[in-house]
Chains A and B, each alone.
Chain A
Amino acid sequence: MSPMMTGLLLDGLWETLLMVGVAGVLATIGGVPIGIILVITGRGHIWPNAPVNRVLGMAVNAFRSTPFIILMIAIIPLTRLLVGTSIGTTAAIVPLVVAAVPFVARLAESSLREVDPGLIEAAQAMGASPWQIVAKVLVPEAWPGIVAGITITLVNLVSYSAMAGAVGGGGLGDLGIRYGYQRFQPEVMVIVVIILIVMVQGLQSAGDWLSARLNKRLIRMRGDSE
């Protein structure tokens, strides 16, 4: 492989990592609170509020049902407003975040919903405020599940970032299309795909490991009992 191609691959790898990493962090920051609001505004939860719950739920569904390729183009004005351009790696991060936030929100919501209602009741009985319940009960108890959700999101972002690359975002996907497909260099395509496979494998394994480590319910029982 030519040094030029190696350089291109490294650039592409960096751009992909940048898109996935930044979009992942921002999607977590945006999505987890939305997931929390979706749960606590539900009926019979600690801060029931039907209008907020319904509107937020519909907005999340709307974004989730829009195909990414359409979403990317539809929000070009927003992208321009935020980063000044609609082309390039930084610009691609905007639609990636917009697509990933509702995804993280739903995954976080389902983990938060699985927190034993008995724990919330116990915290209430101890005089915890709704905010304390969120910060000290809901989020810590759901955290292993949320981490697993973030892992799924990151894997999805790798694939979305390839699509974003095709419309000027750069990254490995873009490289694979331009050199592998349009310039008839199938070996580039193969290398790109291999790198992506390794990347996804690595992300998934790291996420699984971290989630399991954080989950104190999985700590092995020792042979002692009362």
Chain B
Amino acid sequence: MIEIEGLQKSFARGKDAHGAAQAVLQDLSLSVKKGEIFGIIGRSGAGKSTLIRCINMLERPTSGRVVVDGQDITALSGAALRDARRRIGMIFQHFNLLSSRTVFENIAFPLELSGMSKRQIEQEVLPLLELVGLAEKRDAYPAQLSGGQKQRVAIARALASKPAVLLCDEATSALDPETTQSILALLKDINRKLTLTILLITHEMPVIKAICDKVAVLDKGLVVEQGPVFDIFTAPKADVTRVMVHDLIDRDLPDWLADKMAAYKAGPSNPILRITFSGPHANEPVIADLVKRFDVSLNILQANVDYIQGQPFGIIVVEAVGKQEAIDAAIAHVHSQNLKAEVLGHVADDDRAVA
């Protein structure tokens, strides 16, 4: 649905010390399939805003191609570009509603632009008001609405021209967490109902986790990593990604445990294991199984199970108490289930982790 090929953008104004134009996007390629919710995440200054604006030519790329729904947008200008833009909806961080127009008139705006008759506009706008749950606000002005309501109006407005693609430019960044959730739920809902392709940019990992199917990580104008959200979250490869995922999935051991733990086995001690659950065996009762099958007892020190794209992803830290052979066999069994088990360190027997 959206094909980005070799996209480059540099701004003449931001020249560096050598007088060369500063590259904001460097040879960037992405492919977004129909009906997909594709997230682009990056820190501020990574080039996200420029990238999303290159898709509807609010920013003209220096080179490269953008194809939306089979149409090469980069080749268009003037009236042809305006027609193409009507098939690409967009919502913004600060909503960008016309303050002089009511909710109804704001949603009607893109239809007015295309010269639709008043009666037809009414027929188109009313169902949209229902869809975003603002039917009773039709005559209110934006100043009378909350942030979440404003973004709902903006979504309805973007949908009015029946776009093939919806671009979301930090659409929830100005909203509180609760409202963010309701807007994300609405986006997911329209994505399903209308099989609308959504491309969103954000700096918030929770947004990606909540609704995206695929994600690309943007850093300094380059895509450093991309793939299904589950894979990126559970096995981040790039450093930038690792840092962003870290905030969301707590892999750090509690301080008291880290203090007591020794890296090597010295004297009578018990290993501390971290078992990572993901994939098809994540739903099986692995811990109970280990205790039953092998002669080990497990003290659960830390446990966290998260659901990403409906798939469970868990990290459990346990202290294994038992004979060395039994523990080794248990670790081998975990590995045979395609789950990960790593020995983090050892805690002396007389200084048990769980005192």
Contacts and interface: CB of A to CB of B under 8 A. Distances in A.
Interface of A: 116, 118-119, 121-129, 132, 136-137, 140-141, 143, 214, 216-222, 224-226
Interface stretch (B91-99, B242-250, B254-262): B91-99
A123 B56 CA distance: 12
A122 B90 contact: yes
B161 A126 contact: yes
B300 to A, nearest CB: 40
Contacts of A225: 146, 148-149
A124 B86 contact: no
Interface in B146-162: 146-149, 157, 161
Contact of B146 (A121, A216, A226): A226
B73 to A, nearest CB: 12
A119 B98 contact: yes
B46 to A, nearest CB: 20
B82 A127 contact: yes
5 contacts: A118-B94, A121-B58, A143-B100, A217-B141, A226-B147
A137 B142 CA distance: 15
Interface of B: 56, 58, 79, 82-86, 88, 90, 92, 94, 96, 98-101, 109-110, 112-114, 141-144, 146-149, 157, 161, 167, 179, 182
Contacts of A214: 100
Contacts of B109: 123, 126, 136
A22 B89 CA distance: 45
B83 A219 contact: no
B118 to A, nearest CB: 15
Given A126-B90, A219-B141, 10 more contacts: A116-B94, A119-B96, A122-B96, A125-B56, A125-B58, A127-B86, A136-B109, A141-B98, A214-B100, A226-B148
B82 A129 contact: yes
B100 A226 contact: no
A225 B179 CA distance: 10
A111 B29 CA distance: 42
A220 B141 CA distance: 10
- List the 10 shortest-distance A-B pairs measured between CB atoms, nearest first: A122-B96, A226-B148, A225-B146, A127-B82, A127-B85, A127-B86, A118-B96, A125-B90, A216-B141, A140-B100
B98 A127 contact: no
Contacts of B149: 225-226
A143 B179 CA distance: 32
Contacts of B82: 127-129
A192 to B, nearest CB: 40
A127 B110 contact: yes
Contacts of B83: 127
A225 B178 CA distance: 12
Contacts of A126: 85-86, 90, 109-110, 113, 157, 161
Nearest to A216: B141
Count chain A CB atoms within 10 A of each CB in B88, B100, B109, B149 and give the residue with the most. Answer: B100
B58 A124 contact: yes
A164 B335 CA distance: 97
Contacts of B99: 141, 216-217
Given A140-B100, A141-B98, A226-B179, A125 B88 contact: yes
Contacts of A220: 144
A210 to B, nearest CB: 14
Candidate in A122, A124, A126, A141 with the most chain B CB atoms within 10 angstroms: A126
A132 B141 contact: no
A129 B86 CA distance: 12
Contacts of B58: 121, 124-125
Contacts of B161: 126-127
A128 B82 CA distance: 7
Contact of A125 (B85, B101, B182): B85
A136 B143 contact: no
Given A129-B82, A136-B109, A221-B144, A121 B96 contact: yes
A123 to B, nearest CB: 8
Contact of B113 (A118, A136, A140, A141): A136
B156 to A, nearest CB: 13
Contacts of A224: 146
Contact of A127 (B94, B100, B114): B114
